[in-house]
Structure 1
Amino acid sequence: MTAQGVPLRRRVLVVIVSVTALAVALFLVPLAVAVNLLYHDQTVAALQRDAAWVAAAVPDEPRVPLKLPTGLPGDLAVGGYSVLGTRMFGDGPGHSSLAASSKDGRVHDTVEGGFLAVSAPVPSDEGPALVIRVATPNSEVAERVHEAWLLMGGLALIVIALAAGAAVRQSARLAAPLERLTAAAQALGGGDFSVRASPSGLREADQAGQALESTARRLGDVLARERAFSADVSHQLRTGLTGLLLGLESSLSRLGADLAPAVRAALARGERLQEVIDDLVRLSRDSRMPSEQLDVAALMQELRQEWHGPLAEHGRRLTITVEPALPPVTAQPAAVRQILRVLLDNALRHGQGEVTVTVADVGPGTAVEVSDRGPGLAEGVDPFVRSSGHSHGIGLALARSLAEAEGGRLVLSRTRPPLFSLLLPGDDS
C-alpha cells in the first residue's frame, strides 16, 4: 500500500516560502505607507520653505505691482493671492480655496487642481492682506513614491527567491536522511540486517538511524540465535530418537530374545525424549518470562533418578554432592535441566569412569560442576563450537546458549579430565 500525503521536501518549501512572504508583506505594507508619508512630508516641507522665503521677499502691499524673486525651482507654480483666494499675480488657478484658508495667518497645504500646494501669508502689521501659494505637480511626488515601491517590491522578490533557494536546500537536507531511513527500514523488512545509518548532521535523524541500526543488529542476532537454537534442538531430538531406534533394532535382530526389557528401555527413552521436547517447547515459548527460584535439591534428585540407571549399565557410578546452605538461585528449571542433561549425556557418551556432579556456593551465585575420568579433549578443540567436527559440540553449544539466556555461563574449567562448570546467578531479591 502506497503512503499518501505531501512530500516533506514540498511541505518544507511551501512553509518556508509562505512564512517568508508573509513576513515580507507584514514589513513591506507599513513601510510603503511610511515611504508615501515621508515623501509627501518632505515635499510639503520644501514647499513651505519656499513659500516662506517668497512671502518674506515680497512687500505686504498688494496694490503695488509685484515681481517674484528669482532662484526658485522651475517646476514650481508661485502666485500671489488675496485673503479671499483671488489670484493677483503669478501662476496658479484664478481662485484658490487653499490661499483663502491662510487668512488666519497660518501656513496650509493640500492637493489642489493636481498640484501639491502650500499657502503662506505675507507678514503685515495690520494682518495678512497677501498670501503666497507655491505648488508642484502631485504626479512627480507620486512618481517618486512609485519608484520607491518598485524598489521595495524588487527587494522583496529577491528575499523570497533567496528564501525559496534556502528552503529547497534545507528541505533536501531534512528529507535525505528520512529517505535513507525509509530505504534502510525497507531493507530491514526484506531481511537485510546489515543496514548501517550514515551520519547526516541532524541529531534527531542520526538518533533514529542509530536506533534502526541497533534494532537491525539485535534482530539479526536474535534470528541467528533462533536458527542455531533450532538446529541444536533438532540435533538433540535426533540423538535421542536414534538411540531409541537403535535399541529396538538391536533387540529385534536377536532371534528368540526377550523383547520386554527392550520395550521397557524404549519406553523409558521415549518418556525422556518427551520430557526433552516439553522442556524445549516451554523454553521457546517462555524465553521472555521472568526466571523463578530454582529448587536445586529437587533437581539433583531428579537427575540422580534419570541418569543412575544408564551409567550403571556401563559399570559407572554417579556421585552428586550438594553443599548445605546454598544461596537462592534464579533460573528456569527447564533450562537448567536441559543443560545438565547435555553435560551428563556428554559424560556418558564421551567420558569414562565415575561421573561427579558438585553443587557449590561461589559467592554471587551457585556453580554446578560436572566431571568424569575420561581423557578429555584434544588441545585446541573448542567443545562449544558447532563446526568443530565433534558430535558433542552441537549439544554443548545449545547448553551454553541456554545458560547465557538465563544470565549464567557454561565454561570448560579443565580439559583433562574434563570439568564443565555451570555458573548460575543468585537471587538479588
Structure 2
Amino acid sequence: MRQQLIRSTVLAVGLAIVITMAPVGFAIWNASVGDGRGVVGRWLAEGTPGQTSMRLVAVVVALAVLALAAGVFVAIRQAHQMSQPMRALADRAERLGAGESRIQPLHSGIAELDQVSEVLSRSAQRLTKSLASERDFAADASHQLRTPLTALLMRLEEISVTDDLDVVQEEATIAIAQVERLTRVVDDLMARTRRGGDEPKATVSLDSVIAALQREWQPAFEQARRSVHVHGERGLVVQAKPVDLSQVLSTLLENALAHGRGTVDVHARRSGPSVVVEVSDQGEGVPSTIAPHIFERSVTTTGTGLGLALARDLAESNGGRLELIQAQPAIFALFLSESDAA
C-alpha cells in the first residue's frame, strides 16, 4: 500500500509539473519564431500594460486550475482502485466474524492487503478445524461416558431389588470399580484436550480388562437371558491404555447386546507380533448395505452412530486397529501390539 501511495503521489505531482511547464516550453518555442515573441508573446504584449498583466494572471490561474483538476482526477482514480480491495477485505473480515469458514484469499496486487487476507483465510481454516474438533470431542465424550454410566445404573438397580447382604456387597464393590473407571474416562478425556506430544506407550493385561468387563456387563446379559463366553490364550499383555481398551471392548459388547442374539463369544489369541481379540455373537449380523461403512460416523441401524467410529479411533490412537472381519454373523476383530513385557 505504501508503494501504491508513493506511485499515485509521484504521478499527480509529475502531471502537475508537466501541465505547468508545458506553456514555458511552448513560449520558448514561440520565441524562436517570427519577431522573437511568437504568437503567445504577441498576444500577451497586445494592449495596455494592465491588460497584459490580466492576461498573464489568467494564464497562470488557468494552468493552476488545470493542474489541480489533473491531480484530483489522479487521486480519485487511485483512491477508487485502493478502496475496492479494502471493502472486499472488510467484507471477508465480517464474514469470518459471522462464522463463515470458507474465506478465499484476496488478490488485489496490494501486498499489505493481500497479506491480511491470507491471515484471515488461515484463521478461518483453523477456526473450522477447531469447531469440528470440539463437536467431535463433545460427541465422543458423551458416548464414552454413557457406557460406564449405563453399567453403573444396572449395578445400582441390582442393589435396590435385593435383600441379600452378600449380593449387595458384591454389587457395591463392582459399582465402586465402575465409578473409578468412569473417573479414569473423564481424566483421559481432559488429558486428551491438553495433549501436545507423543506419550509413552502404556501396557495392560488383557485378561484383567476382559474380566472386569465381563463382571460389568453380566447383569445386562443375564437380564436379556444371554451370556458372554471368554476363551483363548491367557496372560497376554498388550500396548494400550486400560481406559481406551476397556472402552473399545465395551462398545463391541454393547453392540452385541443391542443388535445380536445368543451367546457373545470373546476370543483372544496371538497372531504374529499382534494380539487379536475377536467378538462375535449368533445374530443375523451387519446388513450388507451398511457393512462397508460401519465405522463411519452417523452410520448405524439405531443409536447415535458414534460407538464404532469412536472405538476405531481409540484403537488407532493406541497403535492398533478395529475391523469387521465377517458381516454375517458379525465378527469384530481388535488388533493390538503385544507388549515386550508379556
So what's the TM-score if we normalise by structure 2?
0.67
Return the match for 1:240 from 140, 145, 151. 151
What is the CA distance between 1:333 and its match in structure 2?
Answer: 5.1
Q: Which residue in 1 is equivalent to 2:197?
A: 290
Contact residue 202 and residue 241 of structure 2 kept, 8 A: no
Q: Does 1:375 align with 2:283?
A: yes
Q: Which residue in 2 is equivalent to 1:316?
A: 229
Contact residue 369 and residue 421 of structure 1 kept, 8 A: yes
Size of the aligned set, in residue pairs, is 314
Matches within 5 A, 1:2-21: 16=5, 20=8
Contact residue 323 and residue 334 of structure 2 kept, 8 A: yes
Contact residue 311 and residue 317 of structure 1 kept, 8 A: no
Q: Does 1:336 align with 2:249?
A: no
Contact residue 195 and residue 213 of structure 1 kept, 8 A: yes
Q: Which residue in 2 is equivalent to 1:101?
A: none
What is the CA distance between 1:213 and its match in structure 2?
Answer: 4.1
What is the CA distance between 1:140 and its match in structure 2?
Answer: 8.6
So what's the TM-score if we normalise by structure 1?
0.56
Q: Does 1:402 align with 2:309?
A: no
CA-to-aligned-CA distance 1:28-53 (integer Å, 9 cap, x gap): 45874685487368548865799xxx
Q: Which has the higher helix share?
A: 2
Distance 2:145 2:60 in 1: 85
Contact residue 353 and residue 374 of structure 1 kept, 8 A: yes
What is the CA distance between 1:225 and its match in structure 2?
Answer: 0.6
Return the match for 1:196 from 88, 98, 102. 102
Distance 1:413 1:232 in 2: 24
Return the match for 1:306 from 203, 212, 216. 212
Task: Give, as a single letter, the amino acid of the residue that structure 2 aligns with 1:221.
Answer: A
Q: Does 1:230 align with 2:141?
A: yes
Contact residue 323 and residue 361 of structure 1 kept, 8 A: no
Matches within 5 A, 1:14-413: 16=5, 20=8, 23-25=11-13, 28-29=16-17, 32=20, 35-36=23-24, 39=27, 43=31, 149-150=60-61, 152-188=63-99, 194-197=100-103, 201-202=107-108, 204=114, 207-208=118-119, 210-252=121-163, 258-287=164-193, 288-296=195-203, 298-307=204-213, 314=227, 316-320=229-233, 334-344=243-253, 346=255, 350=260, 352=263, 354-358=265-269, 360=271, 368-375=276-283, 377-379=285-287, 380=289, 388=300, 390=302, 395-403=307-315, 409-413=321-325
What is the CA distance between 1:241 and its match in structure 2?
Answer: 2.0
Distance 1:353 1:300 in 2: 17
CA-to-aligned-CA distance 1:235-286 (integer Å, 9 cap, x gap): 213312222122212323xxxxx32233223212321332233133323333
Distance 1:425 1:165 in 2: 71
Paired residue secondary structure (1:369): strand
Distance 2:199 2:157 in 1: 38
Paired residue secondary structure (1:282): helix
Distance 1:265 1:399 in 2: 27
Higher relative contact order by CA 8 Å / sep ≥ 6: 1 or 2?
2
Q: 1:390–1:377: structure 2 CA closer, same or farther, 3 Å change rule?
A: farther
Task: Give, as a single letter, the amino acid of the residue that structure 1 aligns with 2:27.
Answer: Y
Distance 2:325 2:155 in 1: 32
Q: 1:340–1:391: structure 2 CA closer, same or farther, 3 Å change rule?
A: same
Q: 1:140–1:413: structure 2 CA closer, same or farther, 3 Å change rule?
A: farther
Distance 1:332 1:412 in 2: 22
What is the CA distance between 1:300 and its match in structure 2?
Answer: 1.6
RMSD (Å), alpha carbons = 4.7
What is the CA distance between 1:185 and its match in structure 2?
Answer: 2.5
